[in-house]
Structure 1
Amino acid sequence: MAAAVVLRWDFHLLLFSLLCLLSFAAASDDEVQALLSIKTAFQNSNTRIFDSWESETLACNFPGITCDSNGYVKEIDLSNQNLTGSLPLSSICQLNSLEKLSLGFNNLSGGVGRDLGKCFSLKYLDLGNNFFTGLFPDISAMSGLVSLYANCSGFSGTFPWYSLRNMTNLQVLSLGDNPFDRTPFPPVILNLTKLNWLYLSNCSIEGKIPDEIGNLNYITGEIPAGITKLNKLWQLELYWNDLTGELPFGLRNLTNLEFFDASTNRLSGNLSEIGFLNKLKSLQLFENSFSGEVPAEMGDFKNLVNLSLYMNKLTGQLPHKLGSWADFHFVDVSENSLTGAIPPEMCKRGKMTKLLMLQNNFTGEIPDTYASCTTLIRFRVNKNGLTGPVPGGLWGLPNAEIIDVADNDLEGPITSDIGKANSLAELFLANNRLSGELPPEISDASSLVSIDLSNNQFSGEIPATIGELRQLSRIQLQGNKFSGPIPDSLGSCRSINDIDMADNTLSGQIPASLGKLPTLNFLNLSKNQLSGPIPDTLSSLRLNLLDLSYNRLSGAIPTSLLSEANNGSFTGNGNLCSEKVAGFRRCSPDSGMSKNLRMVLFCLTVATLAMLASIAGFYYLKKKEGRGGERSLKEDSWDLKSFHLIAFTEDEILDSIKQENLIGRGGSGNVYRAVVSNGKELAVKHIWHSSDCGSGRKKINGSTPILSRRGSSKSCEFEAEVQTLSSIRHINVVKLYCSISSEDSSLLVYEYMPNGSLWDRLHVCKKLVLDWESRYEIALGAAKGLEYLHHGCDRPVIHRDVKSSNILLDEHLKPTIADFGLAKIIQANSTTESTQIIAGTHGYIAPEYGYTCKVNEKSDLYSFGVVLMELVTGKKPIEAEFGENKDIVDWVCGKLKTKESVISIVDLAIPEFYRENAIKVLKVAILCTARLPTLRPTMRTVVQMLEEAQPYQLVSIVVSKDGGGGKKNESFDNEKL
């Protein structure tokens, strides 16, 4: 019986196989007939490709034909075969598996009928470079089309743009050089976000090119020469692609061009063609590899107002008359090899806001004309060869936020004009030969955040009024000839985190007031003539660097300042004493330390040693238990790079990477808690490398590197985080102690934040409700951290993922900005800087990501505005109650009709007494989340507005005559927000 079943099964299998073979033979025969019909249609062609196309031959063996694995015709490639005749569509579209039809570069003629739309399986269609006539047919049915070439093919009339609507996979669209009817730029193209080749030259497109063309950011290759035929073109935007080659010869023919942006590509060659485009208003070619000189003709351009050529390889001089004709707005030629003098008349019309010429080889003096350029916001000429004095009026420019003349050979004094610099936040003068006394008027420049006068020849006393600079976060005076005492008023600069006055001739005692600075991280007073004791108040500071060496200090070294991190901090002070530090004499009883205190310290030392021995034994046992189990990270070879003085070892960090220490997981890696031998808690992020980050480019199949389109790999995030955090020193930005890297993975060691994230405290730990004072301090501290990133770094840093889960809280709820895996350090002229990869978290992402790649610091402003709304309302960025496709910004904006409706959205956990203050913060949030980036304030302005919204203390109670029973329904004025 079993044998019969087997035979029956074998018979059915055989029958099924025969049916499949017959079906295949029938299908193959049908396809052969279709191909022979195509041969007949092209029988008058002067070609031999059809010689072996015979009925007895399998279709898959025909030249020009490719079949799939099932034997069906998949591709027809008859391009460049000298074909003549009309297109036999009825035969071609019988091939149901056909994905590629390539008939370009032939002599085909006649019309192309509607039957083309029946080839619905096509992914690749090339009809270009032929002699067709009539309309191009509707191809809506080809929804899977990837490449469409119909350029120079003779089609006329109106192209059916609507038929591209569903072609979401289209990567190539080439329709240029056809006599189509005039039409505005077709908006359907803006939805083809996967395009990497768009060729519409000479096909009757008219009108304005929309700004949204910037979304098509996959374009590669060279700029086509055909573009030079568009002599009526007035705007050409090619920024942030992977374009290569030189500017095409004949670009000079675009004599009506007013706006040209080909920035952030890989273009090379010279700019000679640009010299003919005398109607240009804006030229942006930054971040390329252009070389040679800037065309002298540009000095005569009458309309040019914006010029951005930074990060190229340009040489020679800038035209003397550059920018002198129109309302010149900004120039950025930084990071080239330009020489000669700075053009003197770029602010001739009094409109210039930014002059950025850093890192070149400019020589000569700074022209006096810029001393009266009151519109200047940024003046940066550092790292050149400039000489002579700085024009006096330059110090007092009322709108200047940055004056940066560091790393030149300038001389002369800072004049009293600096007192008029009402907006000045950053003053960078390092590494020059500037001299004279620091004028007391500097205290009137009340917006100063950072002062760097290091390595000059300044002398005299530091003005006693320096403490009036309440926003000061960094003062660097090292390497000068300052004398006299350190002003006690410096203790009033409550935001300061970095003081460096090393290598001067300062005298007197160290002010005890310095110990009251809550954010001080770095204090370097070495190589001076300071005397007296080390103030005990310094013990309360959380310093990363303390250097008091080579002074005349005396007395006992405070025990709390003794740590491995401070080794060498006290050398060169012969009158200091210590019971612990080798090389110092022991303190006598009258050195400020009693016998009882010494006994207490001895007992503490013994206890500490015992505790360390216990810990060491514990670690030894744990390691012994772990042998033979999971592979130890110690088996790898590691490279440690420290960015602060550290008091722990590499092995201590490696030992902490285990499951029981895991405290968090994220897209960029796991985070572990580490407790090192001195008891300090640290956070360690472990990132596995997934690919070579390089410069943000990757090779595809061994080809030329192109920009990665899918975002950063984990190794890229590691590099971004290290690059960003290693140079940052701010109390409200998470501290990166060191990185430890191996071939397979990397570790980032941060300060530990025991109170988790703001997201946790607002939305997860409901029992730990934040009071309003704490929420306000978190908002202000986080704002100051972002302000430092945007305005306090040498180059602005865009965080790109600001959210409440990336704001961490220490034991005192002090906030720190964290997670810089997506951050980008940008050029000084941030208004032109863009970032390609859409980064961020849903609910926090700025709306401009949807229509432009030109995203700058303003995107951080939007995200921070969302965080402020979280703090005020207690809501998450996305809640079901907001409605479908709506977020917290939409919800808040819908509640701005009356004052009562606004008050209703304030978190009920906030007492009524503070709700008016909360609404003030909400107003700041609404400004930050303006739809248009240009309407959002700067982070510096946000800090100022938040400081003005500080919660007030209850000083009186007023009861109205009507007993408070009557309420007026007031209209809430949106404009006042």
Structure 2
Amino acid sequence: MFESISLQAPLFLVVIFFLILPFHGNSQTSNPEQTILLKLKQHWSNPPSINHWTPSSNSNSTHCSWPEITCTDGSVTGIVLINIDLTTTIPPFICDLQNLTHIDVQNNYIPGTFPTALYNCSKLQYLDISQNYFVGFIPGDVNRLSTQLRFLNISGNNFTGDIPSTIGLLPELQVLQLSQNLFDGSFPPEIGNLSNLEVLKLEFNDFMPSTLPSSFGRLKKLRELWMRVTNLVGEIPETIGNLMALEFLDLSTNDLTGDIPSGSFSMKNLTEIYLFKNRLSGMIPRTIEALNLEVIDLSENNLTGTIPEDFGKLTKLTQLVLFSNQLSGEIPTTVGSLPALSDVRIFSNNLSGELPPDFGRYSMLKYFEVPDNQFSGRLPEFLCHNGALAGVIAFNNHLSGELPNSLGNCRSLRSVRVHGNRFSGDIPTGLWTSFNLTELMLSNNFFTGHLPDELGANLSRLEISNNRFSGEIPAGISSWRNLTVFIASNNLFNGTLPQELTALPALTTLLLDGNRFSGHFPSEIFSWESLSTLNLSRNRLSGQIPAEIGSLPRLTELDLSGNEFSGQIPPEIGNLRLTSLNLSSNLLTGRIPVEFENAAFDSSFLNNSYLCTINPSLGIDVCSSKPRKSNRISSQLFILICISAVMFILALLFGFFVIRYNGRRKGELDSTWKLTSFQRLNFTESDILSSLIDSNTIGSGGSGKVYRVPVNRSGEFVAVKRIWNSKKLEIKLEKAFLAEIEILSRILHSNIVKLLCCMSSENSKLLVYEYLENCSLDRWLHGRKRRSGVTGSVRHDVLDWPKRFKIAVGAARGLCYMHHDCSPSIIHRDVKSSNILLDSEFNAKIADFGLAKMLIKHGEPNTMSSVAGSFGYFAPEYAHTTRVNEKIDVYSFGVVLLELATGREANDGDEHTNLADWSWRHIQENWPITDALDGEIKEQCYLDEMSTVFKLGIICTGTLPSSRPTMKEVLQILLRHNHQPAFAEKNGGSEYDAAPLLKNSRRENVLENGNGGLAWNV
């Protein structure tokens, strides 16, 4: 028997071998769920981010260890594929994973219509397909999705039409997010049937004008209702008060009318309420029961009456925003004592009485904005009691008394604007020198006292006109290095203008008119490289007008009238490109410069008895044919020349000692700095360090100074950005420094500024860039501005249209590279004209990446902790939600396009509007586009191109992010339309029509075309 078994054993083993061979050969994919996942990977073209999805012989359930996959009891229940560049549809066989409950494919490029294939996922509870390229309608049978569905997010796509009523037949739905699409139909009242709904987001959709359904009042579990920019009209229904679980309500930026329902303040769980930018009227409800309220924003409505006394009971309230209404009466005293209050914005009302004295005493008050009211009495003493106050904005009231001494000890303070009141007395000493203060605006009061020798290091704007300040301008004014605007008109200042006044390189506006200054004009003014406006009128200045004024490169407004200037007008002044000139009422002699002998300057030379011209229409004497006898050099001029020579010699001696001192320091400095290069360098550390002196400063900002540093004898320069050495800003600036290093060190593109190296020591950090000769686009377009109160921009030179178009294309190339060619993509977050630098040929380069952020990495939230950037360039959804994607850069670039086309500034408008809004209103009112274009460069041969750029700017600044084109599409439009009467882009299903229209009531007119792409009709 044993013998027979032994003989048959080989045969038995052979049979076993052939039986198990198929299983062994297929062991890597024997698990059916793993097979489906690998098939999904293949369907999605094997994206690199899931290369680790590979079969394994170690275990049949190895796929459960993949980070994108969730398993329960060994079976796949969840798939999370966020931002991995999926570019094809969701296949039907995904539902072969029979236990699948969770699908999240947000932030990809998935095309096609609504994925009805998911109807077969019978256990699906969570579906997120947001931020993709889905188009078309939401199907009428959407209720065929799993009856267990609890979470549905389709935001940030291109869905159009109506939201079907059948959406109300998903009984377990708790979260419904349909925001930021292209819906242009209606939303159904049947949403009110979703009895388990907790979050409803419909914001940023261009629905047909609709009222807020009363049926929404049945959503007893609703915690958040987001309906900003949804074309709501009519009154808010009383049933809104039935939403007793509501914590957040945003119905802002619609066209709502009528009174605010009293029930809206009776919801005890409500923490935030936003109803701004509607046409609500009536009084704010008197009875407040929502004691959990943290935010109230009822701004920009038509509300009347008084602020309810019950607001003083809201102990959790952090933001009280009521500006731009018609509220009257006093602020309840108890509001000033609220313990959590940090943001008070109640400007532009008819409020009166005294401000509650306890504002800031019991809370970390940060923003206090009460201008354009009728408040009287004193400014509250405790505004900065807890050391958080950033701004005191209280202009145009009837406030009186002295400024609180506590403001002088407020280190957090950045802005003080109290002009247009009745304040008196001296300015608190510490306020002049406050380190973080950037603007101090005290005009139109009764302040007294003298100017200080020192100002705060960051103060850039000082306005003190129409007060009673007296004394001389101190010699220490030369230390006011960062001052850009100094307005001190109509005070009691006297003495001479010190030479030190001309040592302010950042100064753009200097107004000292209406004082008692005497003596001669300072003899050397070469440091005023940025000065665009100079007004010294109505003083007692004498002597000759210095010829050096004619060498100021950016001067556009000059007023020296009402003085005692004598001698001839220097012919060099004719070199200036002045938009305004007034030399009237002096003692000037001789012929006026030929450049001003035209009607544009017919009132510029009046009341000068010995001036003459060959143009009789100017109202002054006509020059005789005989030349006047020239006066010999006066003794005064001789003395002036001697003084200048002495000062020149002293300057040379000073420069010699500085060079020797820096030479001695080189050895010490070189040994303490670490240099990391990213390019091949033709300079050393000591070349950089020895040139970081004030005379080489070309700019400054919140994070530091920028220097223009020579690196060799052939005239080459680099730009060096030095981070401020401040312990208080250390962490924030360290992040900004590392952000620029991380991004710029990896980028090599002709339209992005090149980072050459970085240098760091224990106390300082340096970034060394290529130097661009023509500085920023902002300086060319706007010239750093400007007389206070003047609307529109004043340029130091006119940038013609071909150069502007070249700049637009170059900047678009740089942003396109960042968005589409970098991996991961890069969002700049602070695109603006001052961050677009120009080389000698006016090639544009994107700069300043301190705010840039790599696009979302797997598992990280796609938001920023706070909104960064610049006013006028914010995308509306970014300022509201801090959500980060490429479309915020597209919006900002659209503002730059509008700047290029109109010559206006990004924040051009009143206190609460900007260039994008102004441009849209221009179109909406059917005004000719040509009227919006920059008149200084508007030529017939460029009108089509300028109009197209203007319309493209409007498209890019659309309210809805999904309606904005990508930077790749923007670049294609610009390239195709250069000097062509019309353009059309048909590539990948996108068509751009330069038709003259925008006829609907919104900023966008975005239509689905036959190829599944988008068509922008501008």
TM-score by length of 2: 0.48
TM-score by length of 1: 0.50
